[in-house]
Amino acid sequence: MATKGYLGIDAGTQGLSTIFTDESLNVIAIGEGSYEMVLGLDEGCYEQNPDDWIQALRQSMVHLRNRLPSQHADIEVLAIGISGQMHGEVLADENGKSLGSARLWCDSRNEAEESELTGAFGVKMPKRITAARWLWTIRNQPEKAQRAKHVTTPSGWIAYQLSGSWNLGIGDASGMFPVDQNTLNYDNALLKKFGDIVGESVPTDLAQMLPTIRVAGDDGGQLNETGAEILGLPVGTPIAPAEGDQPAALAGSLIGEAGMVSCSFGTSVCANSVGDRAFTGVSKAVDHFCAVDGKPINMVWLRNGTTYMNCVANMFALVTNATDGFATIIRQAAEAEADCGGLLALPFVDDEPGLEVNRGGTAMLVGLNAKNAIPGNAVKAALLSTMFNLLIGSQILDEQGYPRTELVLTGGLSKTPELAQVLADVFETPVTLLDSADEGTAWGAALLAKYRFQKISGSTESWSEFLAHDKSASNRTSYQPNTANSQVYAAMFAKYRKLLAAHTALAEFLS
């Protein structure tokens, strides 16, 4: 008999993955497909061809089927979930044909539009939000803008190719344009302000171009003949509303209640906090979008993640004779004294917009002496500097009274569980590691597919109730804060704030 289950699709910046799970969301097989950036663009410009995503999807499905265990060689997909890199700009004409390559979240061409829209709207409009990209296109590629009738994201484009429907999950949609928490739809007042800014320079209002918003469990469409051919699945297979990678990652971390925080440590760092109300005002350190059910999410994002820590660890690893030198150094960092022997670090390999650090290349260690000059201290100090930067952004949320009850850790740091204890101590908040941490957003997409299928089957369970059910069945490890260590880190944090205040002078010295 066929193995019944769910298909998750995730279109990332560097490639696409598919995942097939059984009905209990146990992973059966994973497939991968690849694509590249458009070549020959200026520095800071990042684009991909939407057709390449579809080709990678075909490739990934072949790969997945080839990796199915023999006992699961015949599969029946009950529903499909889709996630993809947020904040992209995919433009299509009235016939649904792509108008060329799509600008991605990392494209840096619309800083002026970010500032203009934030000032006009009175809410944070980050440089990568799709609306700022569209305003740049109107002004810099007017011929293309004149032809555009639809604007969507990478996940929305894949969903359109599979279903023929222009709709999008609310999390991904909120990365295109601000969402009104009262209506769970695009903010009409801000759409009007956008229209006033644009005037008659384009024939179609943005409100008519944006995809229809859907929340988790809603109808995201069904496979049409084109989609069935791409995936090799039956026409009519249900599709969950396509989501952004950040909301899908939240889903995959089983996060749904106010106070829960998804914390991802890698080359960059994200802390996505579920809020109980909309954020007030504008902060450079905090971005805003929605969870898959529409709850407000406040995101503290750091460009400088574990890069500096990795640089320091690799530097020491090069002079060791161990075959796993890097892993050995990281273990030494986990075992180092809480105060790192008195060392402090600044991690700014790159700039850090949320902290108003405009110059990178200033990463450093201070307090070095003959007694504390050991690899574990240096690497741990580098890691703590990133955690302290994350804490600075999170304190902005504390000032508005947002709850913080649990950090769910994913990303590279989750591979060294001992460092989860450090994070718990720094934030004085319990930290949880899930066994599903490595599956990431594709698993979150499969979870959304399961929720969609249950709704079709008549379930009245809310998204939070659904997550709580899966959470109780998941394998997880919890780390409780150590009071003594938390006190040490609090004292180090106070010194770090003073060191950070001196960064401007340091940057000027190095210029």
- pLDDT tens, position by position, 16-62: 999 999 999 999 999 999 999 999 999 889 999 999 999 999 999 99
Q: Provide the angle, in degrees to the nearest 10, between the axes of the packed helices 418-427 and 483-501.
A: 70
105 burial class (0-12, 13-18, 19+ CB within 10 angstroms)?
Answer: buried
Higher-pLDDT residue of 377, 506: 377
Do 187 and 332 have their domain in common?
A: no
Q: Are residues 363 and 421 in the same domain?
A: no
Residue 45 belongs to some domain of the structure: no
Q: Within this chain, do residues 111 and 202 fall inside the same structural domain, yes or no? A: yes
31 within domain boundaries: no
For residue 112, what is the domain's CATH number?
3.30.420.40
Residue 309's nearest CA partner among 274, 271, 282, 343 is 343
In a shared domain, residues 420 and 385? no
**296 and 409 share a domain?**
yes
Domain contains 242: no
User: In this structure, is residue 223 part of a structural domain?
Assistant: no
Whether 436 has a pLDDT exceeding 60, the answer reads: no
Task: Say if 98 falls within a structural domain.
Answer: yes
- For residue range 195-215, what is the model confidence (pLDDT) as tens digits? 999 999 999 999 999 999 999
| pLDDT tens track for 159-188 | 999 999 999 999 999 999 999 999 999 999
Residue 320 forms part of a structural domain: yes
Residue 105 domain-assigned (yes or no): yes
CA angle, residues 214, 216, 222, in degrees to nearest 5: 70
Total domains in the chain come to: 3
Residues 506 and 471 in one domain: no
* End-to-end C-alpha distance for the chain, whole angstroms: 68
pLDDT at 502: 92
pLDDT attached to residue 417: 81
Per residue in 281-296, pLDDT (tens digit) is 999 899 999 999 999 9
For 50-69, the DSSP string reads HHHHHHHHHHHHHHHHHTS-
Instruction: Give the tens place of pLDDT for each residue, 129-138.
Output: 999 999 999 9
Domain that holds residue 369: 307-393+482-510
- pLDDT tens for 458-497 read 999 999 999 987 665 556 789 999 999 999 999 999 999 9
In a domain, 160, yes or no: no
Mean pLDDT within 500-511: 88
472 lies in the same domain as 486: no
CA gap 466, 446 in Å, rounded: 13
Q: What is the Cα Rg of the chain in Å?
A: 23
